[in-house]
């Protein structure tokens, strides 16, 4: 079956530091890949997505590239802000009457 | 665009009491609907999903149940709550069923505390 593995948290960074959150996946077929963000007390919001190999999704300064050869979709941001503190979920969707498969989430804390 | 309404936002219930959480979707038709639970500091656990009216699939055996009496209404219920039912409950919908590039859209969740 499908699975998503993302790095354990929490991750604590100083403001303006570089962020990488690793995500790898296993899936049949050609899934689409997603990053969701959950701010405290809220539901999940779509942050970015990529639908085929070598696609780069980007939003709010975050980027992730769909790497089929390494089955990875790592999330990066060049300079994090305190407002980026949240839990980040990597996910995949392989189509059909699909259930989206989520990673366990990585909590990011950015300190001033 | 679609909007997902969940209520209540917070709920405190005693052990053994019943539960009813409601989710309604606006701005779309025939979505797949999902109930997730998120325990404190944990990831997402898929509880139920529905591909249509009265079509419910359960992912985890437990004392919860779900119903979909209308196309855009999804209800999570329990006859007798347990302490372990405490958590953050999220309703989600998936548009464009069958297309892998469709993201899930989430409601704002219900924080349930069972005392």
B43-87, pLDDT tens digit by residue? 888 899 998 999 998 888 689 999 999 999 999 999 999 999 999
Nearest residue, CB atoms, B46 vs list A29, A43, A99: A99
Gap between the Cα atoms of A11 and B23, Å rounded = 33
Average pLDDT for residues A94-105, to the nearest whole number? Answer: 78
The pLDDT, as a whole number, for residue B100 is 65
Gap between the Cα atoms of A97 and A74, Å rounded = 26
Residue A2 has pLDDT above 90, yes or no: no
Looking at chain B from residue 50 to 89, which residues have their Cβ under 8 Å from any Cβ of chain A?
A: 51, 59
| Residue A60 Cα, gap to closest chain B Cα (Å) | 18
The pLDDT, as a whole number, for residue B42 is 75
CA dihedral B51, B57, B59, B62 (to 10 degrees): 140
The pLDDT, as a whole number, for residue A16 is 97
Cross-chain residue pair B98–A104, CB shorter than 8 Å: no
Q: How many CB atoms lie within 10 A of CB A1?
A: 8
The pLDDT, as a whole number, for residue B27 is 87
Partner A contacted by B106 (CB < 8 A) = yes
Residue A86, token pair as written in the block: 């949240």
Gap between the Cα atoms of A108 and A104, Å rounded = 13
Model confidence at A30, pLDDT cuts 50, 70, 90, reads: confident
Residue B73, token pair as written in the block: 């209404």
Nearest residue, CB atoms, A100 vs list B104, B108, B111: B104
* Residue B90 CB partners (closer than 8 Å, separation 6+): A43, A44, B6, B35, B36, B37, B38, B44, B106, B107, B109
Residue B97, token pair as written in the block: 């069923």
Nearest residue, CB atoms, B108 vs list A34, A43, A98: A43
Model confidence at A15, pLDDT cuts 50, 70, 90, reads: very high
Partner A contacted by B111 (CB < 8 A) = yes
A89 contacts on B by Cβ (under 8 Å): 43-44
* Residue-level length of chain B: 115
A71: nearest Cα among A108, A107, A31, A111: A31
Residue B40, token pair as written in the block: 């404190």
Nearest residue, CB atoms, A43 vs list B90, B100, B101: B90
Decide if B90 contacts B107 (C-beta within 8 A): yes
Instruction: Give the CA distances from residue A76 to residues A19, A90, B36, B54, in Å, rounded to whole numbers and listed in that order.
Output: 5, 12, 27, 42
Average pLDDT for residues A78-98, to the nearest whole number? Answer: 88
Could you read off the pLDDT of A61-84 as tens digits, one per residue?
999 999 999 999 999 999 999 999
Cross-chain residue pair A44–B104, CB shorter than 8 Å: yes
Average pLDDT for residues A88-110, to the nearest whole number? Answer: 86
A99 contacts on B by Cβ (under 8 Å): 34, 46, 49, 59
* Residue B108 CB partners (closer than 8 Å, separation 6+): A42, A43, B6, B9
Partner B contacted by A9 (CB < 8 A) = no
Model confidence at A96, pLDDT cuts 50, 70, 90, reads: low
The pLDDT, as a whole number, for residue B16 is 97
> HSE (CB half, 13 Å, CA atoms) of B26?
4
Could you read off the pLDDT of A42-66 as tens digits, one per residue?
999 999 999 999 999 999 999 999 9
The long-range contacts involving B49-56, CB below 8 angstroms and separated by at least 24 positions, are: B49/A99, B50/B74, B51/A97, B51/B97
The pLDDT, as a whole number, for residue B112 is 96
Q: Angle CA(A97)–CA(A98)–CA(A100) in degrees, nearest 5?
A: 160
| Residue A42 Cα, gap to closest chain B Cα (Å) | 5
Decide if B115 contacts B13 (C-beta within 8 A): yes
């Amino acid at each position: 079956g499908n699975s998503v593995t993302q790095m354990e948290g929490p991750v604590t960074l100083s403001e303006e530091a570089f962020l990488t959150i690793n995500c790898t996946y296993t899936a049949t077929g050609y899934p689409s890949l997603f990053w969701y963000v959950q701010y405290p007390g809220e539901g999940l919001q779509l942050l970015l997505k990529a639908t085929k190999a070598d696609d780069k999704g980007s939003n709010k300064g975050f980027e992730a590239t769909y790497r089929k050869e390494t089955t990875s979709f790592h999330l990066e941001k060049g300079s994090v802000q305190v407002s980026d503190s949240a839990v980040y979920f990597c996910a995949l969707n392989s189509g059909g009457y699909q259930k989206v498969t989520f990673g366990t989430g990585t909590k990011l804390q950015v300190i001033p | 665009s679609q909007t997902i309404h969940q209520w209540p936002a917070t709920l405190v219930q005693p052990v053994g009491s019943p539960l009813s959480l409601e989710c309604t979707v606006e701005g779309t038709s025939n979505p797949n609907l999902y109930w997730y639970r998120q325990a404190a500091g944990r990831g997402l656990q898929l509880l139920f999903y529905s591909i249509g009216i009265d079509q419910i699939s359960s992912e985890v055996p437990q004392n919860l149940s779900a119903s979909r009496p209308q196309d855009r209404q999804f209800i999570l219920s329990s006859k007798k709550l347990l302490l372990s039912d405490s958590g953050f409950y999220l309703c989600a919908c998936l548009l464009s069923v069958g297309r892998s590039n469709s993201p899930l859209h989430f409601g704002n969740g219900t924080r349930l505390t069972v005392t």
